[in-house]
Amino acid sequence: MTLTDVSTVQGINTLLYVFATEENAVQNLIVNTIKFAVKKSPQFVYPLIFQIFLNNLRVGGIHAFPHHNKLYMVFERGDHSLLEFLNDKVKDFIDKMYLQNMVEYNLAYFDTEKLTPVSNPSHFVIFRSLLYSYLRNFFSNKVQRAQRTPKVEKLEEGLRIPIVCEDISGDISHQYLLKICQGLRFLLEVTSKQRAMLWVDLITIAIEIDQKTGRATSLSSNKLKKISDNVYLEYLRRARPNPKNRAKLIEDYLQILEIKDSLTISYYVYIPELDSFDKVELRFERVKAI
């Protein structure tokens, strides 16, 4: 996926909500891999991997993505205990889900691989997945737990980070809570000059929370209309702020996430030959159009 460099935009003197690395920053991105092959019933196994396994790794500081019989991963810390954590989580997932005959893996054979996300679409998907996973953890301690709902639905829509949520249930329902959440969406793209770019935009999400199960689901506009005209109009009011208010909200939410003019992504890769970790940094600087 490519994008024209922002520096080519002419005649604009406004601050764009985009953060970019230097040129050639993503020409070769080193990551770890292990053998992780789904041998049987992929229609059953893959949903479990994405809904349970990857999330369990992420909360422990390991960001992973399965592709072509490999598990691609990076680590938040250069700590050998994360290797033990990975070993435990893989075996625990396989055993609890009864997948012994469906998944083949080899935790003893770590390897490294260089991703080329600009020229290889599969590598872009892997890079995007690892980066979004990292950012979810990176932002999690900056947003109160009670406000964080729901999870990201689709990678194509970018990484959604709800920041402020307000209950608008009123007397509509006793079983469900209705909330309108606002926050930021981060969308990754890469350019022909080997730069990574994070576009930032405002999001407004209406969600419904089942008070019995705690399950939160996002609501479409049609669903909101069926619930209440007042709820629907309140959602529209918040989802369509004027340009000045939109800009202020984005800046306010960036401040909550402690992002001003730059964002640094630091991750570690295990080098098996040396039994040590190498640190990799990607620095995203706020871009100002000329």
pLDDT in tens, 91-106: 999 999 999 999 999 9
Place of tokens 């401040």: 255
Place of tokens 């469900």: 176
Instruction: Show Cβ contacts of residue 173 under 8 Å, excluding neighbours closer than 6 positions.
Output: none
Look at residues 121, 113, 287, 81 and name the one whose alpha carbon lies nearest to residue 198.
287
The Cα–Cα gap between 255 and 103 comes to 43
SS3 122: helix
What's 98's DSSP letter?
T
Partners of residue 62 on adjacent β-strands: 75
b/e per residue 87-106 (b: at least 16 CB within 10 A): eebbeebbeebebeebbebe
| pTM (predicted TM-score) | 0.88
- Whether 173 shows a pLDDT value over 80: the answer reads no
Look at 167 and 24; give whichever has higher pLDDT: 24
How high is the pLDDT of residue 229?
A: 85
The Cα–Cα gap between 68 and 229 comes to 48
- Whether 155 shows a pLDDT value over 70: the answer reads no
The CATH architecture to which 27-122+262-284 belongs is 2-Layer Sandwich (3.30)
Q: Residues for the chain: how many in total?
A: 290
The mean per-residue pLDDT over the stretch 133-137 comes to: 95
Mean pLDDT of the chain: 87
The DSSP element (H or E) to which 188 belongs, if any, is strand 176-190
The domain limits of the chain are 1-26+146-260, 27-122+262-284
